[in-house]
Amino acid sequence: MSWLVTGGAGYIGSHVVRAFREAGIAPVVVDDLSSGVASFVPDDVPFLRASILDTEAVTAFLREHKVEGVVHLAGFKYAGVSVTRPLHTYEQNVTGTVHLLQAMEAAGVEQMVFSSSAATFGTPDVDLVTEQTPTAPESPYGESKLIGEWILRDAERAYGLRHTSLRYFNVVGSGSPELFDTSPHNLFPLVFEALFHGRTPKIFGDDYATPDGTCVRDYVHVQDLATSHVAAARRLAAGEPVERVYNLGSGHGASVREIMDAIRDVTGIDFTPEVQPRRPGDPARIVATGELAARDLDWVMRHDLRAMVASAWEARQAAGDAYPN
């Protein structure tokens, strides 16, 4: 028996794949490589290059590898870009999830760990977000993730799907030097790419209602995140109770300027970031408690901010000119 990781060639997905292997659970991967990197998938892990919209191919793959559960990470993950590409976002994240569930139903797979997002909350009016905080997404991306959660609940009522949704906050760092964040929109890779090529990093907006005017986010290490996916899968497989939604947050926020300071310290490169206008879809502050996940999913902050920056910078340096531009 095995677990399928959709988007397993991506930054987060590849860490989840390795976490499953280390836990003694056989992973298999589906990824269309629209943003993933083929070399991120270990050579001995079965890999289907296909879109989750290809129900027939995914169904056959599930059956071939006797998959018992799915970690669903595949999707279009760029909140800001989703504002100008809403239809593409909904096709990949909503229609794609429907097709995947159809494939799972056809293959008799009844367990899913779903990659959701802090973007479902929009801009909360509380200092610390919990699972009970009202959702109010401000981008098509956030909306698509919330719809994904609803779809899973409907599938549970209709045919007994066992599931849980993990709402990620800002995922950074690296658990292995050969794995790095390839996003052209996330803060860490944007700053590292600028520094690597001798350019000045940018801050998008310094007029938010925060202590230093820049966005405040809850940063969590990708390896800690991956570990909790394994814990969620194990609880589902064992028939143990799970919450429908868990926040994977640290309970502490850091501003963009604070991140810039940490990067300057870790890299030893002195720079003064250039301030640019705000990006659409970016809330001022979002920080969450991870108490429920700590109770059920082995959710522990094993890395501080400096360790997050250092591991991410090491991976970027190791990539060298092989980093996708």
Q: So which residues are the catalytic ones?
A: 141
Distance of CA 34 to the CA centre of its chain: 16
Residues in the chain: 325
d(CA 64, CA 69): 13
DSSP states of 219-268? EEEHHHHHHHHHHHHHHHHTT----SEEEE--S--EEHHHHHHHHHHHH-
d(CA 42, CA 293): 28
d(CA 28, CA 40): 13
Q: Could you tell me the two tokens for 306?
A: 């400096």
Distance of CA 4 to the CA centre of its chain: 16
Q: Among 225, 301, 211, which Cα is nearest to 256's?
A: 211
The set of residues, in sequence order, having a beta carbon less than 8 Å from that of 113 and lying 6+ positions away, is 69, 70, 71, 72, 163, 164, 166, 229, 232, 233, 236
Residue 307: count of CB within 10 angstroms of its CB: 15
- Classified as helix, coil or strand, 216 is strand
Q: Among 276, 263, 256, which Cα is nearest to 212's?
A: 256
Place of tokens 């799970």: 242
Query: C-alpha distances in angstroms, 98 versus 32, 51, 108, 127, 147?
Result: 17, 12, 15, 34, 11
Q: Number of helices (H) and strands (E), helices first, in the chain?
A: 11, 14
